[in-house]
Amino acid sequence: MQTGKKVYHTLVSQAKQHVPGFESAYAQFHQRVQLDQNSKSMITNYSRSIAMIALHFNRAPHLVSVDEINAYLYRMTSQEKQSLSYFKQAVYGLRHWLRLFGKDEMAIQMPSIKKEEKLPTVLSKQECKLLFKAPRTFKHSFMLAFAYSCGLRMNELRLLKISDIDLNRKQVHIRLSKGRKSRYVMLSNLIASKFQLYLDTVKPQVYLFEGQTPAHPMGERSIQYVINEALQKTDIKKQVSMHTLRHSFATHLLEDGVDVHSIQKLLGHSDMRTTMVYLHVAQIKPCLAHSPLDSLYGFK
C-alpha cells in the first residue's frame, strides 16, 4: 500500500511526464507555495490534488474551464466518494494555482467551503489521569502528560528538542510552529520535577521524544499508537488524538479561571475566534455580579 507521500510523488511525476506544459507550470507553483512558507504537508496535499486534475483533463488546471472543474469536483465527491478532505485540498490548491497564473476570476468562482461548527472532544480531568497512568512505559506516560501540560500540536511535540526546555525559567520554546510562528509555553512543575529522571531513563539524544532511530523524532503514527494502546487499558469511550489533549488543556485552563487571551497566546492561535470555541465546552461556574469594592476588602 502506497503512503500519501509516495502517491504525491507518483502523481506529480506522471503529470510532469504526460501533461503538456505541466512541468514548467508546476515548478512555478511549487516555488511560490514554498516562498509563502506553507507547511510541507500542505504543499504535498495541494500538489497531489493539482496533479490529479491535470492528469484527468490532460491540461494544466489554469487551462481548464470553471464549468469543467466544477463538474469534475462534483463527480469526485458524489459519485467516486472522495473525502471532504480531498475536496477542500483540491479547492484550496486550485485557488493558489489559478491566482498564480492570473486567473483571479476563476479562483473566485471556485466552490465555497463551509466551515464545520463542530465542538472539540474534551477529556475530563479524571480521564486525563487515567490515560496518563495507562501506558506500559514511563516514556509514553511522560510524553502524553507533557503534551497535555503544554497544549501542544502533534508536530510541536514531535519536533521538540531537549535544548528547548528551560528548567530555570520553567518554559518550553515552541519553534516555528503553525504559520511559521514561535512561542513560549509554561513548563509544568510536575513535569520539571520528573524531567531529569526522564532524561536518565530514556536517554534521548536530540529530540525529547525519539523513535527507534536515535536522534530522530518519533513518528506521528507511533504517537497515535501510544494513545490508542493506552486508551484500550481504560474505560474511556471517546476518540482521542493528540489534538484531544490540546483541547482538554485549553478547556481545563478556562475551568481553572485562566482568561481567554492568555489561553490564546499559549495555544498559538492567531484568531481569537478559534480560542472562543472552548467557552462552549468548559464547565465554568457562573459568578454573580458584585461590586469590586466588596471583593477588595473581603466583603464578597
Annotated catalytic residue, options 56, 99, 139, 243? 243
CB count within 10 Å of CB 117 equals: 7
pLDDT band at 116 (very low <50, low <70, confident <90, very high): low
Per-residue pLDDT at 1: 39
Q: Residue 186's beta-bridge partner residues?
A: 171
pLDDT (average), residues 62-81: 88
Residues in contact with 98: Cβ distance below 8 Å, sequence separation at least 6, in sequence order: 61, 62, 104, 106, 107, 110
Per-residue pLDDT at 3: 47
The domains of the chain, with CATH numbers, are 4-108 (1.10.150), 125-280 (1.10.443.10)
Per-residue pLDDT at 156: 95
Q: For residue range 54-69, what is the model confidence (pLDDT) as tens digits?
A: 999 999 999 999 999 9
Known catalytic membership, residue 153: yes
What are the two backbone dihedrals, phi and then psi, of residue 38, each rounded to the nearest 5 degrees? -70, 155
pLDDT band at 117 (very low <50, low <70, confident <90, very high): low
Known catalytic membership, residue 48: no
Above 90 in pLDDT, residue 297?
A: no
Annotated catalytic residue, options 26, 148, 207, 278? 278
Above 60 in pLDDT, residue 8?
A: no
Q: Residue 183's beta-bridge partner residues?
A: 174
Please state which of the ranges 104-108, 209-213, 284-288 shows the lowest mean pLDDT.
284-288
Please state which of the ranges 114-128, 148-162, 212-226 shows the lowest mean pLDDT.
114-128
Q: For residue range 260-287, what is the model confidence (pLDDT) as tens digits?
A: 999 999 999 888 888 888 888 888 776 6
Q: Is pLDDT larger for residue 21 or for residue 179?
A: 21
Q: What angle do CA 137, 139, 144 make, to 5 degrees?
A: 100
Please state, in angstroms and as integers, the Cα–Cα distance from residue 86 to each residue in 51, 53, 92, 247, 298, following that order: 13, 12, 10, 25, 58
Per-residue pLDDT at 42: 84
Give the pairing type, strands 165-166 and 171-174: antiparallel
pLDDT (average), residues 18-25: 94
Per-residue pLDDT at 287: 64
Residues in contact with 190: Cβ distance below 8 Å, sequence separation at least 6, in sequence order: 145, 149
Annotated catalytic residue, options 153, 158, 247, 252? 153
Please state which of the ranges 81-90, 101-110, 162-171, 193-202 shows the lowest mean pLDDT.
81-90
Above 90 in pLDDT, residue 235?
A: yes
Known catalytic membership, residue 173: no
Q: For residue range 24-49, what is the model confidence (pLDDT) as tens digits?
A: 999 999 998 888 777 778 888 899 99
Annotated catalytic residue, options 9, 59, 88, 178? 178
Annotated catalytic residue, options 48, 95, 140, 246? 246
CB count within 10 Å of CB 282 equals: 15
pLDDT band at 2 (very low <50, low <70, confident <90, very high): very low
Sequence-ordered alpha helix ranges (H) in the chain: 4-18, 22-35, 40-57, 66-74, 84-100, 104-108, 125-133, 138-150, 154-158, 189-202, 220-232, 242-255, 260-267, 272-276, 292-296
Known catalytic membership, residue 269: yes
Known catalytic membership, residue 273: no
What's the CA dihedral at 238, 242, 243, 247 to 10 degrees?
A: 70
What is the percent of the chain with per-residue pLDDT over 70, rounded to a whole number? 91
> Residue 181 corresponds to which cell in the numbers above?
510562528
Known catalytic membership, residue 216: no
